Amino acid sequence: MTTAILGGIQQYLDEQRSRVDEALDRLVPSADAYPTTIHQAMRHSLFAGGKRLRPILCIEAGRLFGGDEESLLYMGSALELIHTYSLIHDDLPALDDDDLRRGKPTCHKAFGEAMAILAGDALLALAFEVLSAPGSIPARGLGLSRKLGIVHELAHAVGTQSGMVGGQVVDLESMGKKGDNATLEYIHSAKTAAFIRAAVRAGAIEAGAAEAGLDLISTYGEKAGMAFQIADDLLDLLGSKESLGKTAGKDPQQQKLTYPSLHGIDESWRRARQLVREANAALEPFGQRAHRLCDIATYLIARKS
C-alpha cells in the first residue's frame, strides 16, 4: 500500500514543485540584476533542487479551508525563501560546515562566506517583503489582518523562542555532550517542527480557517514535522552521499544529539511511524479532503533524500 501511495504522491509533488519553482523565479531578482553576485548566490541555493515540501504543505493546508490558489502559491514560495536562508546559514563553516547540499557545492563553497551570510540575510528579508507586498493583499481589512498574522507567525517560527534559531543553538550546544530526551525533543520541535507547523498554519490562516480547524492543522504540522526530523536523522545515518546529495554520516561525526543516537534505529523508525499516524489522525474530521496532506506525511518518512 505504501508503495502505491508513494507512486501517486511523487507525481503530485513533482507537479506542485514545478509551480513553486516558477513562482520563486518571479519573486527573486534575476541573476543579472545589480549587484549580480548576491542574486547569483541566492539563486544558486534556491534553485539547487529543493523538494519544496514547506510550500506544498502550506498550499495543501490552505486548500483544505478553501484558500485562494494564487495567494497560497505566493505565500508558500515566501516560506521557501526562509527555508533556504536557514540552510545557507546552517551550512556555514562556523555552524555545520557542510560542503555539499543537494549534490551541489553549498553557498559559501561556491560564493565565499561573506556572500553566503549576506545571501541568507537577503532571503530572510525578501520573504517578509513578499509576504507584506501590496500586490498580494486583497483590499479588505480581513485580508490585511491575515497577512499581518502570517508575518507574525513566521517571524516567531524563525526566532529564538521555540523557533528555528533556538533549535539550532541547542543543537550546536548539544554536540559532544550526553543528551537527554527533553533536549532532543526541544531541538526537533524548534529546529524543524515549528516551521512546518507555521507553514500549514500560514496556509490555513490565509484561507480564513477558524480556531478549531487551526488547532487540528497545527497538531498535524507539529507531528509531521517531528517525524520529518527523525527521518532526516535516520537518512543521515543510513543514507549514502549519492542518494542524499550531501555528506552522509555528519551527525555521528559531529557527535550530534539525534533520535537514533539516543534511542537506536529501530525505535526511531517506530517513533517516526507513530508520529505520522498521530499527524494524520488529527485530520480525520476532514475525511477524504485531507488525503493529500496524509499522503505527504507518509512520504516524509519514506523518502530517500
Chain residues in the site for a second copy (CB under 8 A): 29, 33-35, 37-39, 42, 85, 89, 92, 94-95, 112-115, 117-118, 120-122, 124-126, 128-129, 131-134, 137, 141, 144-145, 147-149, 151-152, 155-156, 158-161, 163, 165-166, 168-170, 172-173
Residue 198: CB partners within 8 Å, gap ≥ 6? 153, 154, 156, 157, 221
Pick the closer one to a second copy by CB: 6 or 151. 151
86/280 with CB nearer a second copy: 86
Residue closer to a second copy by CB (options 89, 223) is 89
- State in angstroms the smallest separation of the CB of 116 from a second copy: 8
Q: Other CB atoms closer than 10 Å to residue 296's CB: what's the count?
A: 25
Q: Tell me how far, at minimum, the Cβ of 198 lies from a second copy, in Å.
A: 12
- Contact of 152 with 233, CB cutoff 8 Å: no
CB of 176 to a second copy, least distance (A): 14
Q: In the bound complex, what is the minimum distance in angstroms from residue 152's beta carbon to a second copy?
A: 4
Task: List C-alpha distances in Å: 1 to 4, 27, 228, 276.
Answer: 5, 38, 20, 15
Residue 145 C-beta: closest distance to a second copy, Å = 6
Q: What does the DSSP 8-state code read for residue 134?
A: G
Residues 109, 92: Cα–Cα separation, whole Å = 9
**Which C-beta is closer to a second copy: that of 177 or that of 241?**
177
CA separation for the pair 244, 248 (Å, rounded): 7
Whose Cβ is closer to a second copy: residue 209's or residue 279's? Answer: 209
CB of 237 to a second copy, least distance (A): 23
In whole angstroms, give the CA distance from residue 218 to residue 206.
Answer: 14
Q: Which is nearer to a second copy, 42 or 244 (CB)?
A: 42
Q: Distance (Å, rounded) from C-alpha 93 to C-alpha 67?
A: 41
Whichever of 44 and 63 has its CB closer to a second copy, that residue is: 44
> Minimum Å distance from CB 177 to a second copy?
14
Rg (C-alpha) for the chain, rounded Å, is 18
Q: What share of the chain is helix, strand, coil (3-state, %, to 5)?
A: 75, 0, 25
C-alpha neighbours within 13 Å on the C-beta side of residue 176 = 3
Q: How far is CA 27 from the centre of its chain?
A: 18
